[in-house]
Structure 1
Amino acid sequence: MGSTSAAPGGRGPLPAEVTSFVGRAAELDALAALVGRARLVTVTGPGGVGKSRLALRAAARLAGGFPDGAHLAEVGPVRDPLLLGHAVLEALRLTDHTARPPLDVLVEQLADREALLVLDGCEHLVDACAELVDALLRAAPGLRVLATSRQSLRAAGEHLLPLAPLAVEPAAGRGEAEAVLLFADRAAAVLPGFRLEGRVRDGVALLCRRLDGIPLAVELAAGRLRALSVEQVAARLEDRFRLLTGGDRTAPARHQTLRTAIGWSHELCTMQERSLWARLAVFAGGFDLDAAEYVCAGNGLDADDVLELVDSLVDKSVLERLDGEGPARFRMLDTLREYGAGWLRTGDDEPRLRRRHRDWYLGVAAWGEVEWFGPRQPETAERTRLAHPNLRAALEFSLAEPGEEQQALVLAGTLWYFWVGTGHLGEGRHWLDRALALAPEPTDARAKALWVTGYLATLQGDLDRARPVLEECRRQALETGDDRALAYAVHRQGCAALIGDEPARAAELFEEALWHYDALGELNSNVLMAMFELALAHLFQGDEANGRAWMERVRETCEEHGEQWAYGYCLYAMAFARRQAGDLGRARALARESMRLNHLFRDLLGIVLAMDLLALLATEGPRADLFEARVLQGAAHRLWRAVGTPFFGSRSFNGPHLECERRARAGLTEEEHAAAFRLGSRLALDAAVRRALEGGPSPRERETPPRSGDRGGVPLAGQRE
Structure 2
Amino acid sequence: MRSHLPAELNRFVGRDRELARVDRLLLDARLVTVTGVGGVGKTRLALRAAATTAEQERYCDGVRLVELSSLTDPALLDHAVVEALGLTDHTARPPRRLLLDHLAERELLLVLDGFEQVVVDCAELVRELLRGCPRLRVLAAGRLPLRIDGERVFTLAPMNERDALALFAERAAESRGAERPSEGDGPAAAELCRRLDGIPLALELAAGRLGTLSVEQLLRRLDDRFRLLTGGGRGALPRHQTLRTTIGWSHELCTGAQRLLWARLSVFAGAFDLEAVEYICVGPDLPQQDVLDVLGELLDQSVVVREDGAGGLRYRLLDTVREYGAEWLAATGDAERLHRRHRDWYLGLATWCELDWFSPRQAEVAARVEAELPNVRAAMEFSLASPEDTHLAQYLAGTLWFYWAGCGRLAEGRHWLTQVLDAESEHDSSRLKALWVLGYVAVLQGDAVAAIAALQECREEAESRADAVAVAYAVHRCGCLALVTDDMPRAEELLREALAGYEEVGELNSNVLMGRVEMAMAVGFRGRLDEAVAICEHVVEVCDEHGERWARAYALYVLAYAAWYGGDPVRARTLLRETLAVSHTFHDLVGTVLTLEMLALVEVDAGDPAEAAVLQGAAERIWPSVGLPLFGSAYFYAAHVLCEERTRERLGDAAYEKHRRRGARIETDAAVARALAGGQEADGVRELPPAREGQQPEGPGHAEARRLPLRAERGDGGLKR
Q: Cα–Cα, structure 1 residues 547 and 430, in superposed 2: closer, same or farther, change >3 Å?
A: same
Which residue among 593, 613, 633 is the counterpart of 1:630? Answer: 613
1:369 matched to 2:354? The reply is yes
Q: Deviations over 1:502-537 (max 9, x none)?
A: 111111111111111111111111111111111110
Q: Deviations over 1:135-186 (max 9, x none)?
A: xxxxxxxxxxxxxxxxxxxxxxxxxxxx997475653654379999xxxxxx
Identity of aligned residues (%): 43
Deviation at 1:260, TM superposition (A): 3.1
1:414 matched to 2:399? The reply is yes
Q: Which residue of 2 aligns with 1:20?
A: 17
**RMSD over equivalenced CA pairs, Å:** 4.1
Deviation at 1:444, TM superposition (A): 0.7
Deviation at 1:370, TM superposition (A): 0.8
Matched to 2:243, the amino acid is A
Q: Which residue of 2 aligns with 1:539?
A: 524
Partner SS state of residue 322, structure 1: strand
- 8 Å CA contact 1:246–1:257 kept in 2: the answer is no
Q: How does 1:123-142 map to 2 (within 5 A)?
A: none
CA distance in 2, matches of 1:18, 1:606: 48
Q: Which moved more, 1:383-392 or 1:276-285?
A: 276-285
Question: Unaligned 5+ residue runs, structure 2?
Answer: 1-12, 21-37, 66-102, 118-137, 162-192, 200-237, 693-721
Q: Which residue of 1 aligns with 2:591?
A: 606
Which residue among 252, 260, 263 is the counterpart of 2:194? Answer: 252
Partner SS state of residue 320, structure 1: strand
Matched to 2:639, the amino acid is P
Q: Which residue of 2 aligns with 1:186?
A: none
CA distance in 2, matches of 1:164, 1:315: 26
Deviation at 1:639, TM superposition (A): 2.7
Which residue among 236, 240, 243 is the counterpart of 1:261? Answer: 243
Matched to 2:608, the amino acid is A
Deviation at 1:362, TM superposition (A): 0.9
CA distance in 2, matches of 1:384, 1:220: 27
CA distance in 2, matches of 1:550, 1:560: 16
CA distance in 1, matches of 2:682, 2:47: 44
Q: Deviations over 1:40-98 (max 9, x none)?
A: xxxxxx954599xx9xxxxxxxxxxxxxxxxxxxxxxxxxxxxxxxxxxxxxxxxxxxx
Deviation at 1:546, TM superposition (A): 1.3
Deviation at 1:273, TM superposition (A): 2.6
CA distance in 2, matches of 1:219, 1:647: 38
Q: Which residue of 1 aligns with 2:413?
A: 428
Which residue among 617, 640, 649 is the counterpart of 1:657? Answer: 640
Q: How does 1:58-137 map to 2 (within 5 A)?
A: none
- 8 Å CA contact 1:531–1:550 kept in 2: the answer is yes
Q: Which moved more, 1:395-404 or 1:529-538?
A: 395-404
Q: Which residue of 2 aligns with 1:32?
A: none
Deviation at 1:682, TM superposition (A): 3.4
- TM-score (structure 1 length as normaliser): 0.65
Which residue among 662, 667, 670 is the counterpart of 1:684? Answer: 667
Q: Which residue of 2 aligns with 1:384?
A: 369
Q: How does 1:123-162 map to 2 (within 5 A)?
A: none
Q: Which residue of 2 aligns with 1:591?
A: 576
Deviation at 1:424, TM superposition (A): 0.8
1:564 matched to 2:506? The reply is no
Q: Larger relative CO (CA 8 A, sep 6+): 1 or 2?
A: 2
Deviation at 1:668, TM superposition (A): 4.6
CA distance in 2, matches of 1:165, 1:426: 29
Q: Cα–Cα, structure 1 residues 258 and 567, in superposed 2: closer, same or farther, change >3 Å?
A: farther
Deviation at 1:409, TM superposition (A): 0.5
Deviation at 1:666, TM superposition (A): 4.6
Deviation at 1:457, TM superposition (A): 0.9
Q: Which residue of 2 aligns with 1:171?
A: 54
Q: Deviations over 1:245-283 (max 9, x none)?
A: 986898834236356336424422314333322322221
Q: Which residue of 2 aligns with 1:295?
A: 280
Matched to 1:654, the amino acid is Y
Q: Cα–Cα, structure 1 residues 656 and 222, in superposed 2: closer, same or farther, change >3 Å?
A: closer
CA distance in 1, matches of 2:425, 2:664: 42
Matched to 1:175, the amino acid is R
- 8 Å CA contact 2:603–2:611 kept in 1: the answer is yes
Aligned residues: 526
Q: Cα–Cα, structure 1 residues 203 and 171, in superposed 2: closer, same or farther, change >3 Å?
A: closer
1:696 matched to 2:679? The reply is yes
Deviation at 1:636, TM superposition (A): 1.8
Deviation at 1:454, TM superposition (A): 0.9
Question: Unaligned 5+ residue runs, structure 1?
Answer: 1-15, 24-45, 55-162, 181-197, 213-217, 235-242, 711-721
- 8 Å CA contact 2:112–2:140 kept in 1: the answer is no
Q: Which residue of 1 aligns with 2:457?
A: 472
Partner SS state of residue 696, structure 1: coil
Which residue among 534, 545, 553 is the counterpart of 2:538? Answer: 553
